[in-house]
Structure 1
């Protein structure tokens, strides 16, 4: 889709609805698995009204009761105190620690009861934590 296409809407190309190989419009966002699976024989013709409904489930290709996170990269944008730590590729568990390090109230609450924080002096703000040190702290 073109830049600026609504993430929860239908794909548009040149202002017109884009269509799949079956001639049907499709959503910008899709999931590999989840409750939004539809039998390929009964695909509805999606409209802006259908996809804007609060109960609409994004399309999925594998039927499951809930969606599992796949291996997609997710963009993170930050501004303000601590934002310098958000760069490059971060493991998902590091994101929490960077946010906690940047927010004094969260940091105080977390580090007040967390052995790893006490050992390291605060939540980790590096994308390459010292795993040997962390394993030792967990014992």
Structure 2
């Protein structure tokens, strides 16, 4: 993964500091409205704003961790989807919803560099998720 791409994505997440709860409360309901089946991938009680914030923080911590840990996390999501008989289209829904909610939350702070970086990051994440789904099929 290109360092510049990852740093642009990280910078966009840095701009969320102090607004993580608002982002979580926007992202999760929209995600579950678009794909209610995805709720089964998350912990029990995901409708609770505190649980949403906790999950969001875990996701962000995974992102700032090492690259292999992030890739492994994406594979696990793909594996879980396949295990539940869900199509990989749900990964795209999850990624698009995340980036769209991030863009709305950042408002005027959103930059075209972020859009490019997240598009590349999404492609890499979807590839890792497909790898995870393939492990389930094997």
Q: TM-score, normalised by structure 1?
A: 0.23
| Structure holding more helix per residue | 2
Q: TM-score, normalised by structure 2?
A: 0.23
Higher relative contact order (CA 8 A, sep 6+): 2
| Structure holding more strand per residue | 1
Larger radius of gyration: 1
